[in-house]
Amino acid sequence: MKSTFFALGALALSVAAQPIENAAGCPAVHVISARGSAEFPGEGIISSLVNNIVSGSKQTITREAVDYPAGLADYDNSQLKGVVDMKAKLAAKTSACPNTKIVLTGYSQGAQVAGDVLAHKAPGTANVVATILLGDPGHVSGESFQKGTANAVNGFHARASGVLEDFAPKINSFCDLGDPACAGGLNIINHIQYVTKYGTVATKFVLDRIGG
């Protein structure tokens, strides 16, 4: 099953990285995104979702991408480096800008990164108002914030049950049946279509959470 998940990396490589804006001053909202396994540095596939959030909001929004390997061969160490970097970015932004609202987004391995940052209740998580997880390997069945069609199965790297419930109103986690990463399946197509399939719903959730 894990080898099937590794095959997703080759598909992700076809997605070009998007330019990341530099934060200036203290924005109303700051988005921190973690790309999926084997995607090029930057936001990766999830960049189009962030673009929609930025263009759909009336507020000043800045954005940055987690700097980590997003590797498959040494997945656990790669994912841990992502958690460390996202925690650092979150702490730095909220320390410099304590009134800035934070949005976390992550796809695939990056979704596990973002979810684990919340699970660890890292410094700055009090500022997190919305989190979007797409194809999260840490997916746990039956949790209240789950969306999609795979609510009865776990991801291949599932978290302990209940560790994200304190943040449940702030999370939308999308996982579909057959996804190798979040649902233990063999359907790679289901893993790469989240932004296309659920992008509108995810964007609306974030815009509602940040106040438009």
Residue positions annotated with a catalytic role? 108, 179, 191
According to CATH, the topology of domain 2-210 is Rossmann fold (3.40.50)
pLDDT digits (tens, 9 = 90+) for 26-66: 999 999 999 999 999 999 999 999 999 999 999 999 999 99
Task: Annotate 96-142 with three-state secondary structure.
Answer: HCCCCEEEEEEECHHHHHHHHHHHCCCCCHHHEEEEEEECCCCCCCC
153-180 pLDDT per residue, tens:
999 999 999 999 999 999 999 999 999 9
Which residues lie closer than 8 Å to 38 by C-beta, 6 or more apart? 8, 9, 10, 12, 13, 70, 71, 72
Which segments of 42-87 are extended strands (E)?
61-65
Structure tokens at 109: 């391995």
User: Where are the domains positioned within the chain?
Assistant: 2-210
Per-residue model confidence as pLDDT tens digits over 98-154: 999 999 999 999 999 999 999 999 999 999 999 999 999 999 999 999 999 998 899
Q: What's this model's pTM, rounded to 2 decimal places?
A: 0.89
Q: What percent of the chain has pLDDT over 90?
A: 87
